[in-house]
């Protein structure tokens, strides 16, 4: 059993390693020549897992640092420096969700969603275009009910699997939702990109099919690697950051 100092040193070392991994993934575009938006790199694959393993705050810092370095090495455009903050938020939300700290998750997700729906241009966009974000919000509510009622599965492995599943989905959907918030309520759709509402409608139609793939991929990684690594990192019993 590690001492408190040894455990903290391990977490800091892991944070540095994960930041380096995020940096490498961030400089590799998913589609060559396509370097803007939520599909700009492969960093999304690890961001929820890092939040789970390191905790919400250290995990968010590690992901944020790695993303910043990656964006500096492979510079897209100044606008992407704004949208990249979705990644550390996703790690933050995944870390909170795994540790059953549902209050900040519910508050942040609700505020972002309300901000989207009260923006007039969102009324012109198809609701089903963000269906995965709405499913994510439903899971936030389910997580809150399970935590308050203490009715998570009793078997340790099943409980960990469920929490990793919810953490992966909620973390990625929070990442996506913040980027949507910056784009729509933040008015960057026209201020940065000069998009019209009709062009946004086409973008929303495509996003309804594409973004769930991203969420599914990262959630699978979160579950598989999370189950394998959680004992080594001791996230269940030692990490409460």
Going from N- to C-terminal start, the domains of the chain cover 4-233
pLDDT-derived band at 239 (thresholds 50, 70, 90) equals very low
pLDDT at 234 over 70: no
On whether the CB atoms of residues 82 and 188 are closer than 8 A, the answer is yes
Q: Cα 214 vs. chain centroid, distance in angstroms?
A: 11
Give the right CATH number for 4-233 from 1.10.1760, 1.20.120, 3.90.198, 3.40.1000. 1.10.1760
| pTM for the full predicted model | 0.91
Residues in the chain: 241
pLDDT at 80 over 70: yes
On whether the CB atoms of residues 179 and 110 are closer than 8 A, the answer is no
pLDDT-derived band at 237 (thresholds 50, 70, 90) equals very low
* Coil/strand/helix, residue 2: coil
On whether the CB atoms of residues 182 and 105 are closer than 8 A, the answer is no
Least confident of 19-28, 33-42, 155-164, 199-208: 33-42
* Coil/strand/helix, residue 34: strand
pLDDT at 2 over 70: no
What are the structure tokens assigned to 60, written together?
Answer: 């968010």
Give the closest residue to 164 by CA, choosing from 224, 102, 103: 224
Of the two residues 232 and 61, the one the predictor is more confident about is: 61
Q: What is the pLDDT of residue 19?
A: 97
Query: Rg of the chain's alpha carbons, rounded to an integer?
Result: 18
Least confident of 132-141, 161-170, 216-225, 228-237: 228-237
On whether the CB atoms of residues 84 and 67 are closer than 8 A, the answer is yes
């Amino acid at each position: 059993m590690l001492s408190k100092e040894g455990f903290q040193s391990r977490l800091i070392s892991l944070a540095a390693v994960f930041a380096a991994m995020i940096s490498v993934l961030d400089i590799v575009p998913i589609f060559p020549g396509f370097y803007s938006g939520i599909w700009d790199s492969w960093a999304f694959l690890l961001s929820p897992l890092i939040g789970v393993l390191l905790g919400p705050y250290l995990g968010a810092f590690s992901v944020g640092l790695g993303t910043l370095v990656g964006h500096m090495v492979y510079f897209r455009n100044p606008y992407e420096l704004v949208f990249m903050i979705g990644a550390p938020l996703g790690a933050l939300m995944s870390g909170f969700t795994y540790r059953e700290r549902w209050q900040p998750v519910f508050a942040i997700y609700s505020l972002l969603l309300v901000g989207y729906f009260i923006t007039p241009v969102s009324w012109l966009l198809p609701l089903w275009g963000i269906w995965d974000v709405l499913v994510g919000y439903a899971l936030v509510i389910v997580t809150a009910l399970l935590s308050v009622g203490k009715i998570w599965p009793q078997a340790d492995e099943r409980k960990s699997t469920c929490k990793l599943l919810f953490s992966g989905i909620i973390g990625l959907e929070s990442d996506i939702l913040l980027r949507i918030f910056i784009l729509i309520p933040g008015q960057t759709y026209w201020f940065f990109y000069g998009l019209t509402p009709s062009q946004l409608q086409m973008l929303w139609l495509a996003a309804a099919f594409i973004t769930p793939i991203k969420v599914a991929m990262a959630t699978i990684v979160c579950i598989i690697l999370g189950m394998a690594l959680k004992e080594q990192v001791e996230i269940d019993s030692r990490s409460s950051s």
